[in-house]
Copies of this chain bind each other. A is one copy, B any other.
């Protein structure tokens, strides 16, 4: 499905849409009970919503592929994730709220440990504490290179972000991480002619960093990978003709929304804050992307009961969301994060689409198993937005 087609069929209307993404929503049966997190949780409001909605399962990237948060959300926003790749450096920068500009080259950095011969002995420098990372990043900020502005930003433990800002930098660079110990870091190579100047600059940066970190063992060297520039994505508000806002307590999701041109609304640290922000700004927008993080966090921690509790908190927040009376309300997630897997997974994720023109389909619970019988079937993520748009009577007919 071509976004150009959607753009050509999108028509204005007064209808309003909420897309609620519960991060890592999908789960997996607990071995003791045979019931997933959704099947275990007491979520009467979500179940009731499912009963009056069209339901199905969302597949985010491709069958068997486990999505990262970037591709997971791009799919929900209507962008076929395999057609719109976003580099890891860019995602890492978005994840710390760094305001990347077009043309910036971003990379993920690791502090690492090298021996006297310069060979890597620990690719993560013993996972130094974040405070140490902050100190060492300060050292790297002394580096100056001709013709380019440098940003070095701490992330967490051994991780940092490097951004080069300057005229006509190419972002297609090889990484310095050999992905193995016992070898020295690799020099950066340009993967396209336009990236030659950037490759030269990054190699100078690495050389200076080695000098500045010589006495900082175990964090006495750096590795850089995932070089990329902001992708040129079609702008969501123009493709769909929607005044669109994002509400997310976590920077990564704000960054992804900014990437596609949504307004990012200032909000607090909790979902209750987010829902209050929704209520405060609802009049000004046609489409709000609302992000709920707790489901994913508990899943990543392998905390089955914690994820069940997170789902129950989400259920409790539903009345305030429904009180905005959206014409279309979608509840789904960007990927599954089953507690039994302690991480993202490839399993399709339940979705419900409630609205006056989305017919109930007999699904009576909001769960992986129940939604598998829904009328939306197993839906590639980027097919969701066209159905949402249609349900909001915002797409005209194709052909006579």
Q: Tell yes or no: A347 within 8 A of B by CB.
A: yes
Assembled-state Cα–Cα distance A2/B62 (Å): 10
Contact call A64/B395, Cβ cutoff below 8 A: yes
Which of these binds chain B: A130-138, A194-202, A212-220, A376-384?
A: A376-384
Q: Tell yes or no: A117 within 8 A of B by CB.
A: no
Assembled-state Cα–Cα distance A396/B86 (Å): 17
State whether A28 and B357 are in contact (beta carbons under 8 Å apart), knowing that A372-B375, A378-B377 are contacts in the complex: yes
* Closest residue on chain B to residue A397 by CB atoms: B66
Q: Tell yes or no: A116 within 8 A of B by CB.
A: no
Contact call A71/B346, Cβ cutoff below 8 A: no
Chain B neighbourhood of A385, CB < 8 A: 64
Contact of A361 among B341, B369, B395 (CB under 8 A): B369
Chain B neighbourhood of A343, CB < 8 A: 397
State whether A64 and B357 are in contact (beta carbons under 8 Å apart), knowing that A377-B378, A399-B81 are contacts in the complex: no
Q: Tell yes or no: A9 within 8 A of B by CB.
A: yes
Tell me the interface secondary structure of chain A in the complex.
Answer: loop
16 contacts between A and B (CB under 8 A): A5-B82, A28-B357, A29-B360, A36-B359, A61-B399, A63-B384, A64-B388, A66-B390, A66-B395, A70-B400, A92-B400, A345-B390, A346-B390, A346-B395, A361-B372, A377-B378
Q: Tell yes or no: A34 within 8 A of B by CB.
A: yes
State whether A360 and B63 are in contact (beta carbons under 8 Å apart), knowing that A68-B398, A82-B5, A346-B395 are contacts in the complex: no
* Closest residue on chain B to residue A62 by CB atoms: B1
Contact of A368 among B359, B373, B386 (CB under 8 A): B359
How many residues of chain A are within 8 Å of chain B by beta carbon?
68
State whether A390 and B359 are in contact (beta carbons under 8 Å apart), knowing that A82-B5, A346-B395, A400-B92 are contacts in the complex: no
CB distance from A25 to the nearest CB of B (A): 15
Q: Which of A81, A88, A346 has the most chain B CB within a 10 Å cutoff?
A: A346
Contact call A400/B88, Cβ cutoff below 8 A: yes
Q: Tell yes or no: A293 within 8 A of B by CB.
A: no
Contact call A64/B390, Cβ cutoff below 8 A: yes
Contact of A64 among B72, B373, B386 (CB under 8 A): B386
CB-CB contacts below 8 Å: A210-235 with B: 226
Assembled-state Cα–Cα distance A362/B389 (Å): 32
Protomer copies: 2
State whether A386 and B65 are in contact (beta carbons under 8 Å apart), knowing that A369-B359, A375-B372 are contacts in the complex: yes
Q: Tell yes or no: A67 within 8 A of B by CB.
A: yes
State whether A63 and B383 are in contact (beta carbons under 8 Å apart), knowing that A373-B373, A375-B369 are contacts in the complex: yes
Chain B neighbourhood of A172, CB < 8 A: none
CB distance from A11 to the nearest CB of B (A): 11
Contact call B399/A86, Cβ cutoff below 8 A: yes
Contact call B400/A68, Cβ cutoff below 8 A: yes
* Closest residue on chain B to residue A371 by CB atoms: B375
Known: A66-B396, A345-B357. 8 other contacts (CB 8 A): A61-B398, A64-B386, A68-B397, A226-B400, A345-B390, A347-B359, A362-B369, A377-B378
Q: Which of A9, A372, A379, A385 has the most chain B CB within a 10 Å cutoff?
A: A372
Contact call A359/B28, Cβ cutoff below 8 A: yes
Q: Tell yes or no: A374 within 8 A of B by CB.
A: yes
Assembled-state Cα–Cα distance A61/B360 (Å): 22
